[in-house]
Amino acid sequence: MRLQKNTLLALYSMLEFAAQPARQLSVAEIAARLRVSPHHLAKVLRALGRVRLLDSVRGARGGYRFAANARRVTLMDVIGLFEDVGARAPRARRAPRAAEQALAQVLAEIDQTARATFGSVTLDTMLKLIERRGTG
């Protein structure tokens, strides 16, 4: 299972913010930690701000602050803003229709499991996982 670059940036950013919810962080700070371009990250953070997962603070010393409930927001809540997990359809146009349908059924099973997994892991649970792995 692979997630798109923007989705990963959004997830890593949300985890950075959730780890220090009271702190305001600038785009540059997060970008430096994630080793990405601030310009690219800014678009991702704006998307998170639009749905109120982050609060944006305007001005020269502006930035973002965590605005969500880490025990309620799941990975799926974030991923769903950037991509559609489970939009896979067989492309084998020459395959017999029944085979196409059978393959679609198996892929749907995988997608449902992926969605359920992402939907059951909250940011808070992720922070605990990170702590246990000691790779904060």
Note the residues at the interface with other proteins (CB under 8 A): 71, 74, 112-113, 115-117, 119-122, 124-125, 128-129, 132
C-alpha span between 54 and 47 (Å, rounded): 9
Nearest to other proteins of 5, 128 (CB atom): 128
What's the closest the beta carbon of residue 54 comes to other proteins, in angstroms? 21
What's the closest the beta carbon of residue 119 comes to other proteins, in angstroms? 6
Nearest to other proteins of 37, 113 (CB atom): 113
What's the closest the beta carbon of residue 6 comes to other proteins, in angstroms? 24
What's the closest the beta carbon of residue 30 comes to other proteins, in angstroms? 25
Nearest to other proteins of 47, 107 (CB atom): 107
Nearest to other proteins of 100, 111 (CB atom): 111
User: Is 126:77 a contact under the CB 8 Å cutoff?
Assistant: no
Q: What is the 3-state secondary structure (H, E, C) of the chain?
A: CCCCHHHHHHHHHHHHHHHCCCCCECHHHHHHHHCCCHHHHHHHHHHHHHCCCEEEECCCCCEEEECCCCCCCEHHHHHCCCCCCCCCCCCCCCCCHHHHHHHHHHHHHHHHHHHHHHHHCEHHHHHHHHHHHCCC
